[in-house]
Amino acid sequence: MMFRKTLLSTSLFVLSINTIAQIPNGNFESWKQVGNYMDPDGWVTTNSFVPVGNTFPVSRSADHSPNSSGAYSLKIQSDKSVGAYGITMTTTGDIMEGPKPTFVIQGHPGTFRFSYKYLPKANDSLYVAVLLYKNGQIVSGTEYRSGAIQQTWKDVLLDLDTYSSADSGAVILSAYQGDGPPPGNAPKGNSVMYVDDIAFGNFSSVSEKQALGIEFYPNPVHNELRITSKDVVNKVFVYDLNRSEE
């Protein structure tokens, strides 16, 4: 694969390929029917707490990120009148017990990215967090909060806290923040959030790129960047030092 673009040697590019798509169903293309509602595969939701006949807080939406190769996104919405909390996470067991190590971490990811839209109500703030674990203990992570209206898709790229190694991870997505991290609080209003294209990136060490079958050259890049991989490269994201996509 050849990527034609003038790059600075200090630019960061993130590959979205099968081997590094470790977050389960991070583009929300796979869903399962559970009674009267659908849940995204690999995620636990609050849909089961809502009485039949009401709007379920987590659903599939055809309004997806323009950068996504899929057809759907995740829609999260709260409805205080029926106790519907707009939250989902990768976990095991009861969602109200909070996140737990869920999916396997391969290599050493340095960044976490996602795309979102947000329509807050009553001064709510969205909450997105990723946690990395080693032997059941949290070793790294990052989080993102915003109470601003975001009517168009916005891409977010976050650095993970420095860590030595991790073996598992968990992700929390919530349309509300309240007085502390979900799920230990209640939404202030009936806010709506769309999320798509969740992925790790910046597998920067030579050993990790070799293990994942990735090669790129030359470095520095002037006019052409060539990328080879043992798996299909779905997308390439290029960022400058300010984390702005080029």
pTM for this prediction? 0.75
H helix intervals, the chain: 206-211
Closest residue by Cα to residue 58 from 193, 197, 196 = 193
Please name the residues in contact with 228: beta carbons below 8 A apart, sequence gap of 6 or more. 1, 214, 215, 216
Closest residue by Cα to residue 172 from 91, 118, 83 = 91
How far is it, in rounded angstroms, from Cα 212 to Cα 58?
33
Instruction: Supply the pLDDT for residue 75.
Output: 96
Instruction: Supply the pLDDT for residue 238.
Output: 62
Closest residue by Cα to residue 99 from 39, 180, 181, 162 = 181
Maximum Cα interatomic distance, the chain, rounded to a whole number of Å: 58
Instruction: Supply the pLDDT for residue 121.
Output: 92
pLDDT per residue of the chain (246 residues) written in tens, 0 to 9: 433 333 333 334 444 333 344 788 999 999 999 998 999 999 988 888 888 778 889 999 999 999 887 899 999 998 887 766 777 887 666 677 778 898 998 888 999 999 999 999 988 899 999 999 999 999 999 999 999 999 999 999 999 999 999 999 999 999 987 555 555 567 888 999 999 999 998 765 444 444 456 666 666 666 676 776 666 665 666 655 555 555
Instruction: Supply the pLDDT for residue 86.
Output: 79
Helix (H) or strand (E) holding 73: strand 73-77
Burial letters for 195-210: b for 16+ Cβ neighbours within 10 Å, e otherwise?
A: bbbbbbbbbeeeebbe
How far is it, in rounded angstroms, from Cα 108 to Cα 93?
27
3-state secondary structure of 210: helix
Instruction: Supply the pLDDT for residue 46.
Output: 86
